[in-house]
Amino acid sequence: MGLVFFPAFDWAISPTHPEREERLLYTKDQIFEEGLLDLPEIVEYKAGVATLKDIARVHFCVPDVKSQITDAHLIAVGGCLVLADALLKGEITKAFALVRPPGHHAMRVVHGNRGFCNINNEAIMIEYLRKKYGLRKIAVVDTDVHHGDGTQEIFYHDPDVLFISFHQDGRTLYPGSGFTHELGGPGAFARTLNVPLLPGTTDEGIHYVLDNLILPILKEWQPELVINSAGQDNHYTDPLANMRFSAQGYARLNEKISPDIAVLEGGYAIETALPYVNVGIILAMAGLDYSHVKEPDYYPGKFKESAECVQYTRNLVRQLREVWERQEELAAKHRAEEGKFRLRGEPGNVYQKYKHIYYDTDQIEEEQHETVHLCPVCPGYLTISSTANRGWSGRASAFAVSIPLYACPKCQEEGRRAYAKALDSKRNHDFIYLQDKPLDEYRRFDCARKQESSL
């Protein structure tokens, strides 16, 4: 099993912010204390540095990639990519990237920082793996207490990425999304599944969801790779959330899911949770005994699930299983309904989604129209128009075209034409982008300077 540690000493939102370097330092101490790095099963890798192109393969950064990131971001992603390479080359069979800053709230268009995230580590790793090794079917299980809204958004129209997130109900916690009706776009129905749990859910409830929903679906769908978007903030001592998950609960979860790669997301109880949870996860993933790993104040039976909570979770699992089992029928119905809302003036069969995105850390409001140009033989290309209101520093608007890696030649050509057309038009955008994944070419046009650059 491979590990990368990258605590990012020089990156912080503010000195007292809960997302800070100590999150990894206590874990590192505990790993030394347990002697984990002396075990032949565990190898530590040095983080690499991701390229700007790796980031442009996923994100449209406004105004450009460099302005949205620091070296710490490139190294956090780079750590994930080093482990991904080691895994695919067969040097290791499991990997855990203990890196920060986190990434799962970063969406495709990036105007700033949301939920402590600028760029999405898992999404960048997925597109890297697909481009370099030709992987296609990938599952992401988001075990962070917050809904992985960024990862969901990036893969919402991708039928080859299955995204399952369990989290504390969005009515009670940031980012306020992740409900059961969010199921993926018309070409990727039931490839997004959300399990919003009640505050106070314990090991018992989370393992009920695993055993009765997540594991059977993973078994049936047969992904080529499973990623755990591993947040430790479901822990009962986490200061930002209200769940009652334990280190043993987390370790057993990783033993059962057996992800190929885990990537650290949130978790803010830096002394009382993270060292134990992370050590438990490492031991479980390495196939070693983790039964002794526990928090000093934990004992079995410390928390008992309320009858209401048990009932709620059971109903939720039943409802989502039904969606999964009837997905073809429901997807057809969904497509027929969406068809009624086709836009006037848009050629062919398109699906449009309006989004209002708030960047809590940077206090930016974004309005976005995302249009999927549906295709009978491929996932179709996307066009996005986005305007961000930054308050003090004004507005920025962008038009972007994203051509998926597995687009058919016709959609690839149409996508490139949409970019050329946007360059010609007098529409008022500050920046125009093209993400041509089949060609691995990423263009950006600065309208004020009339300058095109490419990665």
Q: Are 283 and 289 in contact (CB under 8 A)?
A: yes
Under the binding rule (CB under 5 A), the answer on residue 165 touching Zn ion is yes
**Minimum distance from residue 137 beta carbon to Zn ion (Å):** 19
**Minimum distance from residue 88 beta carbon to Zn ion (Å):** 25
| Contact region with Zn ion (CB under 5 A), list: 145-153, 205-213, 362-370, 388-396 | 145-153
- Beta strands, E only, 93-137: 95-99, 109-110
Q: Which is nearer to Zn ion, 378 or 398 (CB)?
A: 378
Q: Are 166 and 249 in contact (CB under 8 A)?
A: no
| Contact region with Zn ion (CB under 5 A), list: 57-65, 337-345, 370-378, 382-390 | 370-378
Residue 212, SS3? helix
Q: Are 205 and 178 in contact (CB under 8 A)?
A: no
| Contact region with Zn ion (CB under 5 A), list: 72-80, 216-224, 230-238, 279-287 | 230-238
Under the binding rule (CB under 5 A), the answer on residue 146 touching Zn ion is yes
Q: Within a 10 A sphere around the Cβ of 339, how many other Cβ atoms?
A: 12
Task: Tell me the CB-side half-sphere exposure of residue 202, using CA atoms within 13 A.
Answer: 13
Q: How far apart are CA 438 and CA 369, in angstroms?
A: 24
Under the binding rule (CB under 5 A), the answer on residue 252 touching Zn ion is no
Cα 419 to chain center, whole Å?
27
Under the binding rule (CB under 5 A), the answer on residue 266 touching Zn ion is yes
Under the binding rule (CB under 5 A), the answer on residue 231 touching Zn ion is yes
Plot region of 222 (φ>0 → left; ψ -120 to 50 → alpha; else → beta): left
Instruction: Work out which of 411, 422, 432, 434 binds Zn ion, going by CB under 5 A.
Output: 411
Under the binding rule (CB under 5 A), the answer on residue 142 touching Zn ion is yes
Q: Which is nearer to Zn ion, 317 or 411 (CB)?
A: 411
Please choose, from the candidates 85, 23, 77, the residue with its C-alpha nearest in 3D space to the C-alpha of residue 50: 77
| Contact region with Zn ion (CB under 5 A), list: 31-39, 44-52, 161-169, 292-300 | 161-169
Under the binding rule (CB under 5 A), the answer on residue 416 touching Zn ion is no
Q: Are 11 and 101 in contact (CB under 8 A)?
A: yes
Q: Which is nearer to Zn ion, 357 or 403 (CB)?
A: 403
Q: Which is nearer to Zn ion, 57 or 104 (CB)?
A: 104
Give the H or E element holding residue 165: strand 161-168
- Known catalytic residues are 105
Instruction: Work out which of 233, 295, 305, 436 binds Zn ion, going by CB under 5 A.
Output: 233
Q: How far apart are CA 382 and CA 374, in angstroms?
A: 9
> If you count DSSP H runs as helices and E runs as strands, how many of each does the chain have, helices first?
13, 17
Please choose, from the candidates 12, 24, 86, 75, the residue with its C-alpha nearest in 3D space to the C-alpha of residue 282: 24
Q: Which is nearer to Zn ion, 234 or 248 (CB)?
A: 234
Under the binding rule (CB under 5 A), the answer on residue 167 touching Zn ion is yes
Q: Which is nearer to Zn ion, 239 or 391 (CB)?
A: 239
Give the H or E element holding residue 37: none
**Minimum distance from residue 152 beta carbon to Zn ion (Å):** 9
Question: What is the rounded radius of gyration, in angstroms, for the C-alpha atoms of the chain?
Answer: 21
Q: Which is nearer to Zn ion, 144 or 295 (CB)?
A: 144
Q: Which is nearer to Zn ion, 330 or 408 (CB)?
A: 408
**Minimum distance from residue 116 beta carbon to Zn ion (Å):** 8
Under the binding rule (CB under 5 A), the answer on residue 94 touching Zn ion is no
Residue 190's alpha-carbon distances to 8, 158, 327, 421, 439, in angstroms, are 36, 11, 6, 34, 29
**Minimum distance from residue 198 beta carbon to Zn ion (Å):** 14
Q: Which is nearer to Zn ion, 81 or 230 (CB)?
A: 230
Under the binding rule (CB under 5 A), the answer on residue 280 touching Zn ion is no
Q: How far apart are CA 305 and CA 198, in angstroms?
A: 11
**Minimum distance from residue 114 beta carbon to Zn ion (Å):** 12
Q: How many residues bind Zn ion (CB under 5 A)?
A: 13
Under the binding rule (CB under 5 A), the answer on residue 23 touching Zn ion is no
Under the binding rule (CB under 5 A), the answer on residue 106 touching Zn ion is no
Instruction: Work out which of 144, 338, 370, 436 binds Zn ion, going by CB under 5 A.
Output: 144
Footprint of Zn ion on 371-400 (CB under 5 A): 375, 378
Q: Are 240 and 273 in contact (CB under 8 A)?
A: no
Provide CB contacts within 8 A for 452, sequence distance 6+. 443, 444, 445, 446
Please choose, from the candidates 395, 402, 374, 420, the residue with its C-alpha nearest in 3D space to the C-alpha of residue 59: 402
Q: By beta-carbon distance, which residue lies closest to Zn ion?
A: 266
Q: How far apart are CA 377 and CA 400, in angstroms?
A: 22
| Contact region with Zn ion (CB under 5 A), list: 63-71, 218-226, 258-266, 278-286 | 258-266
Helix axes 274-285, 22-33, angle to 10 degrees: 60
Q: What is residue 389's DSSP assignment?
A: E
| Contact region with Zn ion (CB under 5 A), list: 38-46, 247-255, 369-377, 441-449 | 369-377
Instruction: Work out which of 408, 423, 447, 455 binds Zn ion, going by CB under 5 A.
Output: 408
Q: Which residues bind Zn ion (CB under 5 A)?
A: 142, 144, 146, 148, 165, 167, 231, 233, 266, 375, 378, 408, 411
